[in-house]
Structure 1
Amino acid sequence: MTNNDFYRNLFIQHMPIQEVLLDPSLFENVPDNWNIIVTDVQNSTAAVGAGNHQLVNLAATGSIVACLNIARDHQVMIPFFFGGDGATIIVPDLILKECLHALILHQENCQSNFDFFLRVDSCKVGDMYKNGATLKITKVKLNDLHIIPVVLGDALQMAEDEVKSRSRKMTLFDIPYNLNLKGMECKWDKIAPPVDDNEILTLIIKAETTNLQSSIYSEVLSKMETIYGDVKKRHPITSEKLIMINSLDQLKSEVLMKFSELKWKEVLTSALRSIMARWYLKNNKKGRDYLRELPELTESLMVDGTINTVISGTKKQRELLLFELQSMQDKGLLRYGFYVSKTSILSCYVTAIDDYHVHFLDGDQGGYTQASKLLKV
């Protein structure tokens, strides 16, 4: 019997994440014959430092979109995690080869058009278990519209470390060209926080001990809620602050990432879509619904064995939270990295404006990349 529907069939938890984390019975082991795909922009710190953080985000977003399009073709549901300068996607054997083939094409495109190397590789979950790793997953209803995967264990981090240590360039499989980034849209300009004087805080938090992840992360999320409010209150995106880009360079970059070459017809089409969208989002009910739903369908909080989150609040709130995190770090419970910016960056996967859409969030100037630098210190 195949288990291609393992993730689809997981029970959806309707409790706050901090409560879900404390009940191990709500999590299931990912099957042995599923796979952890890791993509990662090599030397992303240098790329971000050179001002290419939006291209780095595009490469990471493209990794997820390529795999989601393949999964949709096979009617398979898969969990994924956006990391700013890369992505982690968990897939069954059924689509592994197709996903890797698409990602190698994506890798070649990033190298030839943008001059950076996107690591692409995978690890078999069963092999990770043999090496002592753990990987437990559940699904949590974050709000009325959005269900997210929540992972406990060290397998995803171990897979990322292994892929980075290999630094090998994989070869294409003997299957037809299949890089399909349809639906990848990056039409939004830098987004100011909901309250004008607030700031954007990008955080990565890693428990020092795998078997204490659940209690540590539950405590952290409870402290975050006490200081900042719930996920909705601390969310960095509101529809009122969304402004569409009118930068030709950004439109060209999106077309290059999607089509491997600069197709001026696609640049023009993308520009016209942006112009039409301004009217549509304001004057059409489906457009207004899309805008209303966008914040709720934005990945502002991920738990993948670490906590990765982008939040909005005041400087005082940040100082209070960092004081709490530092106290926990001093006790040897966790490590953390953070980055503060004035705006956030959004990239999107939109199959249709009235159908499925999900949005990937990072702090401006490569928030996750910058936060991970502090985490490693």
Structure 2
Amino acid sequence: MNNDFYRNLLIQHIPIHEVLLDPSLFENVPENWNIIVTDVQNSTAAVSAGNHQLVNLAATGSIVACLNIARENQVMIPFFFGGDGATIIVPDIILKQCLHALILHQENCQSNFNFFLRVDSCKVSDMYTKGATLKITKVKLNDLHTIPVVLGDALQMAEDDVKSKSRKIELSDMPYNLNLKGMECKWDKIAPPVDNNEILTLIINAQSTELQSAVYSDVLSKMEFIYGDVKKRHPITIEKLIMINSLGQLKNEVLMKFSELKWVEVFASAIRSFMARWYLKNNPKGRNYLKELPELTESLMVDGTINTVISGTSKQRELLLYELQKMKEQGLLHYGYYVSKTSVLSCYVTAIDDYHVHFLDGDQGGYTQASKLLKV
């Protein structure tokens, strides 16, 4: 069995733009693994109605549900946050449990928030039969965070399949319930590290699979030249983090996690937020958590496309978009972007001194807005 395929992948310790140019560093995802896709239907309308944070929570919940199952089964899995959905690659051993949990998550989103979360999966072997490719490696992004990097078109094909059909997955006959323990949404909108700077959300898609390595390496090199490295262009700094004090947001988080409004949980969540203000400033473990948070935030993802949220000046944006437009006119890529004044975080925290990862989007549904331009 290859349940430990992803765990056993070698970690690359060179910059992503260099990794992308070396095909020997990538391995094919095993045929008996599976691609799970979730996607909020009509997310553009939901974002336009001011529900972008709920859409982000639904996407985050998709990943958290599968991560909790994977951790229970001691399996390591790659995942990608898309703002209005998620893509998770899992082995057969946890597929049924994940789909079962995600259908419960789907029902909860429908009944409590009145939007439909598409949920589906496909076998990697079926994507290979269709001629798709799916190659993966792991890259050390910084001292704390290792991310999956994917080349190929299988994930995009799987997402397109889910969006183009309405296959309904029935709940399996198993006792497993939806477990979103660890999902948190305690941070308010986050201003850029430098006053008067902006947040740029970008989606970049090479015009063919064969072009991905060279195009994405070139794009990331240009981005680094214009904005600086990942750390320098990162939208999150400790100084700009502010905890929410909105009862409405706390209620939504509880509804998303427990399917019903449990006031005990709302009260407990409010207390945790209040206590955390002191704890994160005065306790060594709390201060360490804050220090780690920016490095453990998903600000750059390569899943066959480039998805990233960065901070900089309007002049830097104009320079980068000029370069991207030239590459588009050369037939190398398509791109979509959205500019906002702040970014938003949703989080998965198993314990303040244990595993935590944070999912980043531009405010007002940055990834959703960027994807609209990508399709033009």
Amino acid at match of 2:149: V
- Find the counterpart in structure 2 of residue 305 from structure 1: 304
- Find the counterpart in structure 1 of residue 61 from structure 2: 62
| 1:26-85 residue CA offsets vs partner (Å, 9 max, x unmatched) | 000000000000000000000000000000000000000000000000000000000000
Q: Determine helix, strand or coil for the equivalent of 2:178.
A: coil
| 1:241-273 residue CA offsets vs partner (Å, 9 max, x unmatched) | 000000000000000000000000000000000
Q: Determine helix, strand or coil for the equivalent of 2:126.
A: helix
C-alpha distance in structure 1 between counterparts of 2:214 and 2:25, whole Å: 14
C-alpha distance in structure 2 between counterparts of 1:310 and 1:85, whole Å: 15
- Find the counterpart in structure 1 of residue 2 from structure 2: 3
- Find the counterpart in structure 2 of residue 296 from structure 1: 295
- Find the counterpart in structure 1 of residue 31 from structure 2: 32
Q: Is 2:245 the partner of 1:263?
A: no
Amino acid at match of 1:51: G
- Find the counterpart in structure 2 of residue 121 from structure 1: 120
- Find the counterpart in structure 1 of residue 72 from structure 2: 73
Q: Normalising by the residue count of structure 2, what TM-score does the alignment of the two structures yield?
A: 1.00
- Find the counterpart in structure 2 of residue 93 from structure 1: 92
Deviation at 1:115, TM superposition (A): 0.1
Amino acid at match of 1:80: F
- Find the counterpart in structure 1 of residue 339 from structure 2: 340
C-alpha distance in structure 2 between counterparts of 1:154 and 1:360, whole Å: 23
C-alpha distance in structure 1 between counterparts of 2:51 and 2:265, whole Å: 22
- Find the counterpart in structure 2 of residue 130 from structure 1: 129
For residues 280-291 of structure 1, the aligned pairs below 5 Å read: 280-291=279-290
Amino acid at match of 2:3: N
Q: Determine helix, strand or coil for the equivalent of 1:8.
A: helix
For residues 188-337 of structure 1, the aligned pairs below 5 Å read: 188-337=187-336
C-alpha distance in structure 2 between counterparts of 1:376 and 1:52, whole Å: 22
C-alpha distance in structure 1 between counterparts of 2:348 and 2:177, whole Å: 18
What runs of 5+ residues in structure 1 fail to find an aligned partner? none
Deviation at 1:177, TM superposition (A): 3.6
Q: Normalising by the residue count of structure 1, what TM-score does the alignment of the two structures yield?
A: 0.99
Deviation at 1:96, TM superposition (A): 0.2
C-alpha distance in structure 1 between counterparts of 2:343 and 2:158, whole Å: 28
C-alpha distance in structure 1 between counterparts of 2:6 and 2:176, whole Å: 27
- Find the counterpart in structure 2 of residue 109 from structure 1: 108
C-alpha distance in structure 1 between counterparts of 2:30 and 2:2, whole Å: 8
C-alpha distance in structure 2 between counterparts of 1:109 and 1:260, whole Å: 6
Deviation at 1:212, TM superposition (A): 1.1
C-alpha distance in structure 2 between counterparts of 1:323 and 1:309, whole Å: 17
C-alpha distance in structure 1 between counterparts of 2:41 and 2:50, whole Å: 15
Amino acid at match of 2:36: I
| 1:187-245 residue CA offsets vs partner (Å, 9 max, x unmatched) | 00000000011000000000001011000000000000000000000000001100000
What runs of 5+ residues in structure 2 fail to find an aligned partner? none
Contact 2:97/2:176 (8 A) holds in 1 = no
Q: CA RMSD in A?
A: 0.4
Deviation at 1:170, TM superposition (A): 1.4
Q: Determine helix, strand or coil for the equivalent of 2:311.
A: strand
Amino acid at match of 1:87: A
C-alpha distance in structure 1 between counterparts of 2:170 and 2:365, whole Å: 29
Q: Determine helix, strand or coil for the equivalent of 1:15.
A: coil
C-alpha distance in structure 2 between counterparts of 1:342 and 1:169, whole Å: 38
Amino acid at match of 1:76: V
Q: Determine helix, strand or coil for the equivalent of 1:84.
A: coil
C-alpha distance in structure 2 between counterparts of 1:177 and 1:171, whole Å: 14
Which aligned runs of 4 or more in structure 1 are off by greater than 2 angstroms?
A: none
Percent of aligned pairs with the same amino acid = 87
Deviation at 1:178, TM superposition (A): 1.8
| 1:305-355 residue CA offsets vs partner (Å, 9 max, x unmatched) | 000000000000000000000000001100000000000000000000000
Alignment coverage as a number of residue pairs: 376
